[in-house]
Amino acid sequence: MRVRCPNCGATFEAEEEGVVECPYCGFKIKLGEARDFMYPLKVQNPRHFLMSFIRLQSISPNDVDSKAQILDQRLYYVPFYVFFVEAEGSAHHGYISTDGAGRVEFMNYIVVPAVEGFEELINYPLPAKGRKYFERGEVKGELLEKKVHVEDARKAAITTVEESLKKEAKRYYHWNGVNVSLSTKYAELEGLVYYPIWKITYKYGFFTCRAYVDGVDGRIPYAEFPISSVKRFVNLTLSAVLLLVGALVGKALVGYGITAPLGSLGTALIGAYPSLKKSLRIKGRASTHKILDEVKEEIMPEEEAFRFIRQLFRKL
């Protein structure tokens, strides 16, 4: 019989029932039994991992570790449906036209929480090693029972794959609008995994933030954090400078007709908008396994704003 290892995903032939060992990773598989697994808890001090991660964010306050106050800290064993998803199809430019179609494919595991309230953990990469068969007596925190129907979770897994392929196609083909048509999409349920997750709520100043900490290796699947007031002031100042430069250049170009100053002001507004938007944001979000919008914008160099200044001066 053909067996897929629930630990590493490899497939191999097994000629006997009972317990077989995966020849690739050594995981012992109980054939014909329930496919419920768990990971043992290893992280006992989640605050340390959370604060260390938040300090690494360039837009977080320098004193967040010393001034953050933990309001609630709970350990949950969250059930995850584990699907092995295979999908292939085509990506094309736009949502109606099929011009510029390119091939897309996906073959990997997708995990979906079997309970509500943990949507940020969809497609969270579980460790390749450390999984064992579920034993209720080894659960250290609150065990959550599955509430989400497996078919609803399967649909969420397929949707996650489609969105992932859209992002990949957009980045690879440099298209603005991308649509993905999957000719093949298959999600096989591999089992249920109970995974230890610390859920933390903390307060910094007037702001209340929440976060998850991985109970196995200390990764941060999702975290909210306050944005430094200094960083927000810098962005506000930068947007004001851009608008001022646009106004001065526009005034200098009045003699060339109305379109020239309007063009310079429009360019200044476009250049100032990202910094102005950042200055009004009070909380950021970050994750160790994916780049969220707030952090992605910060990774973009501030030279983007000065590029608009250079464009304005070229109009002189």
> Over 90: is that where the pLDDT of 25 sits?
no
Domain boundaries, the chain: 2-33, 40-221, 229-314
Check pLDDT > 80 for residue 225. yes
Q: Looking at residue 136, what is its pLDDT?
A: 87
Among all chains, which residue has been given the structure tokens 């953990």? 121
Between CA 275 and CA 294 the distance in angstroms is: 12
Average pLDDT over residues 192-196: 96
Tell me how far apart the alpha carbons of residues 32 and 17 are, in angstroms, rounded to a whole number. 8
Between 246 and 132, residue with greater pLDDT: 132
Mean pLDDT on 34-42: 87
Cα–Cα distance, 89 to 86 (Å, whole number): 11
Banded pLDDT at 114 (limits 50, 70, 90): very high
Using pLDDT thresholds of 50, 70 and 90, give the confidence band for residue 40. Answer: very high
pTM score of the predicted model: 0.74
282: phi then psi, degrees, rounded to nearest 5: -105, -20
Specify the amino acid at residue 250.
Answer: G
The Cα–Cα gap between 124 and 289 comes to: 8
Q: Answer whether 70's CB lies under 8 Å from 202's CB.
A: yes
- Give the mean pLDDT of 154-173: 85
- Percent of the chain beyond pLDDT 70? 73
Residue range 272-298: mean pLDDT, rounded: 71
Q: How much is the pLDDT for 301?
A: 41
Whole-number mean pLDDT of the chain? Answer: 80
Total count of residues recorded for the chain? 316
**What tens digit of pLDDT does each residue of 228-239 get?**
877 777 777 777
pLDDT at 199 over 90: yes
Exposure string over 265-292, b if 16+ CB within 10 A, otherwise e: bebbeebbebbbebbeeeebbbbbeeee
- Residue 252's pLDDT band, with cuts at 50, 70 and 90, is low
Q: Over 90: is that where the pLDDT of 293 sits?
A: no
90-106 burial: b if 16+ Cβ within 10 Å, else e: bbbbeeeeeeebeebeb
Query: Where in 153-278 does DSSP place strands (E)?
Result: 178-204, 207-214, 222-226
The whole-angstrom separation of Cα 313 and Cα 316 is 5
Model confidence band, residue 131 (pLDDT cutoffs 50, 70, 90):
confident
More confident residue, 155 or 31: 155
Query: pLDDT exceeding 90 applies to what percent of the chain?
Result: 35
Whether the predicted pLDDT of 160 surpasses 80: yes
For helices 229-252 and 259-280, angle between their N-to-C axes, nearest 10 degrees: 180
Mean pLDDT of 141-169: 91
